[in-house]
Chains A and B, each alone.
Chain A
């Protein structure tokens, strides 16, 4: 649990399993505790079980096995309308036959809140998402971004402690997405609410969350803070899924106290790496190196490694250059360099030397 969050778990999944057909498990043995006030993202490809987990928490799906606890109380047997959890849906799910203000009034009317208090809360919630002037509009008269702001206000207006978000920005264009990412994180922190956020967009996960749970195949592959996730992926799925990643196949030839040597399959060259989930000499491994941690013509000491490479493609991307290289028998090795005034622009066919620090090179499962 990161610092600043209460040690007692607010939301807890305890050995939760879910199967729709009674045979295949969509969620396999999920254990997860989320602290009060935490912003946790469930990240994963479609079909990885992340949305199912969110639906179980909201009460729309029933866990086949295990217990889900909210604030220490088991909620498996509480129907969704009694859980008091806010939710933002991917397609907004605004009631089309009600105006924006009526949409926001809905959860308050259910809770039998008086008219004047209701109006004050609605106004406050709409102002919070900068939609104060839109109370009289119908959802169909709003743009996608405005609709999602209203949906957000509706999920917050009855002041839930826990808010779930199911790919809420999936249908919006890039710029709007970035603005709303920022606004959602700001609101979550200002209001001190706990957020469980589901997305398949890794940038969203990295920029918004306190912690990210990477899902694949019904399991959490890694649960960590964004920087740990990016810099210390625990297996090759996480390394591949988060950010761009170069992989080289090889075999462990030496392994001792936090260091290992890997012989690359294609060229026979030996490189130093950090052993992450290799256990013994002779293990097959995938070595992972981030494209921005690779340097051209490095002038480090002899501990760093240099390899010969040939430039295949040079792509100008504005802020960065992306160079595709042939190295150790692979022709999809990517290097990213910042667009600096003194940075040379490489030409295809050019021979170069590249290198990286051993700690940036991680030996993962094959």
Chain B
């Protein structure tokens, strides 16, 4: 955006003020995350910048918290749990959410708005309420304290994201393509996998990413539905904050930030590639 030559003084002032406001918002969002990264290299067992760190002395920094994370069995078991639960929950969310989105995008489905609202409700209802409800429900049917229980609970939280992103992709989907496919002799299953799925893949991927991050970050529901055996990374961090106040948490947080950035980048690249494939944007 450039200032046009006919801009008035008022417009000029607003032009620069607007940029300052944008910068402030950006700072507000990113500063807490950025502070964590240098802090995680703290040589001391503190959550604050030591005078040595501020003076950029080399021995004020260390990797000891990272070492702790990779050697401490508690952190390692939490990492293992997270790495097992999140992908399983993601797969389940993607499969169910995509099917739901496709079904609900068909105009002949009765009460589709109501069904959509119910499916999306886990995103809107306060987490603690969902968690408490799930706790009572899952205890009755013997799912409380099991891997399957945590996976199902996380899938329920992830499904709304998949539904929303896939529904958005389906808005741009040309229904005459499925008709063309049927007309050319392909049955519904073939049409789904060969025509519809490749074209809505970007939405499915984005939804899957959100579902993954939801499960990977989630602490409230897992506290209720899981037991000590299903302790995930966020849960371990929560305990760490309450009981040990160890800067290892900061190291873990930094690693998670790095993973998130890597994940987002990969998925965005994948998404662009598949959009190119469907011929929406020029190569």
A residues with CB within 8 A of B: 58-60, 79-87, 89, 91, 93-97, 106-107, 110-111, 138-141, 154, 158
Contacts and interface: CB of A to CB of B under 8 A. Distances in A.
5 contacts: A58-B179, A93-B174, A93-B179, A107-B186, A140-B282
Contact of A107 (B174, B184, B277): B184
B169 interface: no
A89 B179 contact: yes
Nearest to B178: A93
B180 A93 contact: yes
A interface secondary structure, majority: loop
B279 A110 contact: no
Contacts of B220: none
B112 interface: no
Contacts of A97: 198-199, 277-279
Contacts of B174: 91, 93
Interface in B162-193: 174, 176-177, 179-188, 190-191
Interface string B76-116: 00000000000000000000000000000000000000000
Contacts of A106: 181, 184, 186, 194
Nearest to B183: A87
Given A96-B280, A106-B194, A91 B176 contact: yes
Interface of B: 174, 176-177, 179-188, 190-191, 194-195, 198-199, 277-280, 282
A296 B194 CA distance: 65
A5 B272 CA distance: 53
A106 B181 CA distance: 8
B205 to A, nearest CB: 14
Contact of B184 (A110, A139, A140): A110
A93 B279 CA distance: 13
Contacts of B278: 96-97
A107 B184 CA distance: 5
Contacts of A140: 279-280, 282
A140 B179 CA distance: 19
B180 A87 contact: yes
A20 to B, nearest CB: 11
A91 B278 CA distance: 16
B190 to A, nearest CB: 7
B183 A58 contact: yes
A37 to B, nearest CB: 21
A85 B182 CA distance: 10
Given A81-B191, A96-B278, 10 more contacts: A80-B179, A82-B185, A89-B176, A91-B176, A95-B177, A96-B279, A106-B181, A106-B194, A110-B184, A154-B184
A91 B174 CA distance: 9
A229 to B, nearest CB: 29
A54 B279 CA distance: 29
Contacts of A82: 185
A86 B183 contact: yes
A110 B186 contact: yes
B206 to A, nearest CB: 17
Most buried by B among A82, A86, A93, A107: A93
Task: Please give me the 6 A-B residue pairs with the lowest Cβ-Cβ distance, nearest first.
Answer: A140-B279, A107-B184, A93-B180, A96-B279, A110-B185, A93-B176
Most buried by A among B176, B183, B186, B191: B183
B189 to A, nearest CB: 11
A89 B190 CA distance: 20
A60 B180 CA distance: 10
Nearest to A79: B182
A94 B184 CA distance: 11
A107 B185 contact: yes
B174 to A, nearest CB: 7
Contacts of A60: 179, 182
B176 to A, nearest CB: 4
A20 B179 CA distance: 18
A98 to B, nearest CB: 9
Nearest to A164: B183
A97 B190 CA distance: 15
B257 to A, nearest CB: 34
Most buried by A among B180, B184, B185, B190: B184
A82 B184 CA distance: 9
Contacts of B282: 140
Nearest to A140: B279
Contact of B279 (A83, A84, A86, A139): A139
A158 B177 CA distance: 18
Contacts of A158: 184-185
Contacts of A86: 183
A210 B198 CA distance: 41
Contacts of A93: 174, 176-177, 179-180
Nearest to A166: B176
A95 B279 CA distance: 9
Nearest to B198: A97
B277 A89 contact: no
B273 to A, nearest CB: 11
A18 to B, nearest CB: 16
A45 to B, nearest CB: 22
Contacts of B194: 106
Nearest to B201: A97
Contacts of B280: 96, 140
Contact of A81 (B187, B198, B279): B187
Contacts of A80: 179, 182-183
A141 B185 CA distance: 26
Contacts of B191: 81
Contacts of B199: 96-97
Contacts of A141: 279
